[in-house]
A = this chain, B = another copy of it.
Amino acid sequence: MTIGIIGLGLIGGSIAKECRRAGYKVLGADASEKHKEQAVDFDVVDEVMSVDDLVAASNVIGLCIPVDLIAEKIPLVLNKIKWNQVVFDVGSTKRGICEAVRDHVKRSRFIAAHPLAGTEFSGPKAAVFDLFKGKKNIICEEGLSDEDALRKVVDIFNLLGMQSLFMQADDHDKHMAYVSHLSHISAFTLSLTVLDIENDEKQIFNLASTGFESTVRLAKSNPKTWSSIFENNSEYLSTALGSYINHLSEFKRILDEGDKSKSIELMERANEIKRVLNGMSLNAIKLS
C-alpha cells in the first residue's frame, strides 16, 4: 500500500515516518520548497512530488495542512480520486471541515480525523517517532464514510499506536474549545502577563521551576497554526474564555475580600480534576 501525505509538518511528517517504519511506501507533497527539502534530508518520506502526482499514485491520502486550508482543499482532492482511494484529514477543528464536504459526491471516501498529539515544535524537522503512541484519535461523522475506507484509516492510526474514538463534529469542537484551545490561550496570556511585568528576564528564568514552566509551556506553540484553530472554533472558544474570565474574576474578588474559607472551597472543587485525570486507571486498579 502507498500512503500519500500532503503537508509535511510536525503531524504529517510524524505520520509519514511511522508509516515508512512499518514498511509502507510513503509519498509527500508540500507547498514549501524548504519543507520538501527537509522531508528528504530527514528521511521523512520516500519521495516528494506534486499534489497531482501524489494523489494519482497513493491508496490512502492524508491531508495534513493548516486547518484554515483543509475545508477548501478537501473537495479538490476528492474530485481527483477514484472510488477505491481514501482521503483523511487531521485538522484540530472538525465542524467546518465536515460541512465543507457533506454534499460532495465522494463524501463516503473521506474520513474526518483528529489525532490528539503534538509538541510545541513545527515543520518536517520536528517530525518524530512515537509522537502518537498511547494517545487518542477522534473520528467524526464516521457514519458518512464507507466501511472499507474507515477500516483503512483506523488501521493507520492503530499502527501509530492510537485508540480511535467516535464523536459528532460539533461535540468535538465544543469539547476541544474547553479542554484544549482554552489551555493554549491560558498559557499564551500567562506568558504575556509575566513578560509585561518582569523587566528582568533572568528572574523569570531563575523562578520558573515554581510551576510556571509547565503551566506556560503551550505559549511556545506556533502562532499561525493556533490563530487558524481559534478562528475556526471562535464561537465555542469565546464562550469558554468568557467562563474562564468569570472564574478568575470571582477568585480575585474572594482574594481581595480575604475570604480564605471560600478560596479553599474553590480549590477543593478544582482538585477534582485529579480524580478525573487519574480516575480511569484508579478504577481499573480497584476492580482488579
Determine whether the beta carbon of A217 is less than 8 Å from that of B220.
no
Q: Point out the residue from B216, B220, B249 that lies within 8 Å of A245, measured CB to CB.
A: B249
Q: Which of A38-46, A96-104, A235-243 is the contact stretch?
A: A235-243
Determine whether the beta carbon of A260 is less than 8 Å from that of B227.
yes
- B-contact 0/1 string along A53-81, CB 8 Å cutoff: 00000000000000000000000000000
Give the bracket for the number of chain A residues in contact with chain B: 35 or more
Q: Which of A6-14, A23-31, A141-149, A272-280 is the contact stretch?
A: A272-280
Q: How far is the CA of A241 from the CA of B250 in the complex (A)?
A: 11
* Distance from A274 Cβ to chain B, minimum over Cβ atoms (Å): 4
Q: Is A33 an interface residue (CB 8 A)?
A: no
Determine whether the beta carbon of A205 is less than 8 Å from that of B280.
yes
Determine whether the beta carbon of B273 is less than 8 Å from that of A258.
no
List residues of chain B with CB within 8 A of the CB of A178: 193-194, 197-198
Determine whether the beta carbon of A211 is less than 8 Å from that of B240.
no
Beta-carbon contacts under 8 Å, A79-118 to B: 116-118
The residue on B at minimum CB distance from A193 is: B244
The residue on B at minimum CB distance from A280 is: B205
The residue on B at minimum CB distance from A272 is: B195
The residue on B at minimum CB distance from A219 is: B270
Determine whether the beta carbon of B218 is less than 8 Å from that of A215.
yes
List residues of chain B with CB within 8 A of the CB of A264: 223-224, 227
- B-contact 0/1 string along A221-233, CB 8 Å cutoff: 1011011101100
List residues of chain B with CB within 8 A of the CB of A266: 188, 192
Q: Point out the residue from B176, B207, B227, B252 that lies within 8 Å of A175, measured CB to CB.
A: B207
* Distance from A279 Cβ to chain B, minimum over Cβ atoms (Å): 7
Q: How far is the CA of A139 from the CA of B267 in the complex (A)?
A: 29
Q: How far is the CA of A272 from the CA of B199 in the complex (A)?
A: 13
Determine whether the beta carbon of B268 is less than 8 Å from that of A255.
no
Q: Point out the residue from B193, B223, B245, B251 that lies within 8 Å of A271, measured CB to CB.
A: B223
* Distance from A265 Cβ to chain B, minimum over Cβ atoms (Å): 8
Additional pairs, 14, CB under 8 Å, beyond known A191-B272, A195-B269: A116-B209, A191-B270, A195-B276, A197-B243, A204-B276, A205-B277, A214-B218, A220-B273, A220-B274, A223-B263, A227-B260, A231-B263, A234-B255, A237-B255
Task: Enumerate the 8 nearest inter-chain pairs by beta-carbon distance, A residue then B residue, closest first.
Answer: A180-B210, A223-B267, A191-B270, A183-B215, A191-B273, A189-B247, A188-B270, A179-B207
> CB within 8 Å of B: which residues of A?
116-118, 120, 135-136, 165, 175-176, 178-180, 182-198, 201-221, 223-224, 226-228, 230-231, 234, 237-238, 240-245, 247-249, 251-252, 255-256, 258, 260, 263-264, 266-274, 276-277, 279-280
